[in-house]
Amino acid sequence: MRIQEVAAEVGLTTRSIRYYEEIGLLAPARSGGDYRLYESEDVERLRFIKGLRDDAGFSLSEIGQLLEDEAARLRNKARFKATDDPTERRALALDGIARIDRQIDSLRAKIERLRGMISDARVRRDKLAARVEEIDAGERRTHVHVDRARTDAS
């Protein structure tokens, strides 16, 4: 796959993709004529980058860190397969677990802060909902109610 096709599929501009390569997030193969050639693995990587950027709001340097951890994971995996020394295999696995735990902690911290913001908002929401119910209770002739479904789940 060449760059424009990848860009269309993933939803990035060619400039962004080249930029990501420039700062070391990516390293596609080259054709004889110096064209960049993207494997499905590269496309996956780009999707991952876009997800981290758009969904989680990570900076490209943070993403770089996560990808390096990912690369270390793959190196560990290869080394794990190459050896049969249980002590080394155990150490490799534990290292992988530590890396993943760091990633999870960072994601979880983000979630916790977002949750705090939600619960603040929910307090305000419930106050308003209570107002509406008061009014409705006062107006016995009407048959309306407030949708409280959103206040149930977190």
Binding interface with DNA (CB under 7 A): 2-5, 13-16, 18-19, 23, 31-36, 53, 59-61
* Residues whose CB is less than 8 angstroms from the CB of residue 147 and which lie 6 or more positions away in sequence, other chains included: none
Binding partner selected for residue 95 from DNA, a copy of itself, none, CB under the kind-specific 5 to 8 Å limit: a copy of itself
Structure tokens at 42: 């590269």
Residue showing tokens 């020394």: 85
User: Is residue 148 at the binding interface for a copy of itself, with CB under 8 A as the rule?
Assistant: yes
Q: Which residue has the tokens 């981290």?
A: 52
Half-sphere exposure of 20 (CA within 13 A, CB side): 27
Contacts with a copy of itself, 78-117, as mask; x by CB under 8 A: --x----xxxxxxx-xxxxx--xx-xx--xx-xx-xxxxx
Q: Which is nearer to a copy of itself, 68 or 139 (CB)?
A: 139
For residue 143, what are the CA distances in angstroms to 112, 135, 136, 139, 146? 39, 12, 8, 9, 11
30: helix, strand or coil: strand
The reply to whether 47 sits near a copy of itself by the rule CB under 8 A is no
- Name the residues that contact a copy of itself, by CB under 8 A: 51-52, 54-58, 73, 80, 85-91, 93-97, 100-101, 103-104, 107-108, 110-111, 113-118, 121-122, 124-125, 128-129, 131-132, 135-136, 138-139, 144, 146, 148-150, 152, 154
